[in-house]
Amino acid sequence: MLRLSRALGAAVLALACALLVWRVSGQDASLSASAPAAVPASTDNWGLSFPVEGQSPVGNATVEELAQYDTWYLGDTSQKVIYLTFDCGYENGYTESILDTLKKHNAPAAFFVVGNMIETAPDIIRRMAAEGHIVGNHTYHHPDMSSIADQSAFQKELDSLAALYQETTGEELPRYYRPPQGKYNTENLRQAKALGYRTVLWSLAYVDWYVDDQPTAEQAYAKLLPRIHDGAIVLLHSTSRTNAEILDDLLTKWEDMGYTFASLDQLPAAQ
């Protein structure tokens, strides 16, 4: 099994995350714009707009379109609940601090990991599982899955990660999948569902992944506080120094706004 170095893993993930920037930045540009018409779930780039602060954003596929593939970007919008998720491409020294904060707030989370993260930080992976967090499948190598047409190649990316997780923890990997870079197509969603996975996108994120150009706390709050909404699936990166530093205060602020935190296991059932 291929063993990526931490440095190589960091470079690959940084490049991949850079491809997300126009979509997250696009949220800023469209904040005051009218809501765009949703496009079919066959689109291959997940994106959002926020027509009204504090309300659910509009995705480029609807909740109903995605639900038929057991795919979610919003949770239970009838409750003031937040689903915390972290993408983990490699260990940058902050994940244990994040876990400490989640424990302090009794907040469950989902960590979507790749092969490099499990290989280089197995003790942290075991801690995630032991503390009741979901460890989800972000694929083994973090490729653009929408470019993989062959089902066996698609499945191999997920199965390889699941096998490494089981080897590391002695447990089966929970069946939650997040496509790298937010890239997908309808066939990918069908394939993931056929393999027993729920595909989890997101309804709130910000540009937090440039490790050498981290946002200030004020910049992070400016994105994460006014745009929080009922049933939000929040995407943060565990490589972010800013996230680790502000997480305690951020969760407190959300709690003061009346929000509680729920596990992805509490997502609504597929229709």
Full pLDDT tens readout for the chain, 271 residues: 434 444 444 444 544 444 444 344 344 333 323 333 333 344 468 999 999 999 999 999 999 999 999 999 999 999 999 999 999 999 999 999 999 999 999 999 999 999 999 999 999 999 999 999 999 999 999 999 999 988 999 999 999 999 999 999 999 999 999 999 999 999 999 999 999 999 999 999 999 999 999 999 999 999 999 999 999 999 999 999 999 999 999 999 999 999 999 999 999 875 3
Residue bearing tokens 């929408």: 146
- pLDDT value for 45: 83
The yes-or-no answer on residue 249 being catalytic is no
Nearest to 231 by CA among 256, 203, 253: 203
> How many CB atoms lie under 10 A from the CB of residue 32?
11
Q: Encoding tokens for residue 110?
A: 């989902």
Which CATH number applies to 6-266? 3.20.20.370
Identified catalytic residue from 133, 142, 229, 237 = 237
The yes-or-no answer on residue 138 being catalytic is no
- 217-246 as b/e: b if 16+ CB within 10 A: eeebbebbeebbbbbbbbbbbbbbebbbbb
- pLDDT value for 119: 98
Between CA 47 and CA 263 the distance in angstroms is 23
Cβ–Cβ under 8 Å, residues 135 and 175:
no
- pLDDT value for 269: 76
Q: Encoding tokens for residue 132?
A: 């009741």
Cβ–Cβ under 8 Å, residues 247 and 224:
no
Identified catalytic residue from 70, 87, 208, 230 = 87
Q: Where are the domains of the chain?
A: 6-266
Between CA 249 and CA 219 the distance in angstroms is 14
Between CA 164 and CA 191 the distance in angstroms is 21
pTM for this predicted structure: 0.86
- pLDDT value for 44: 62
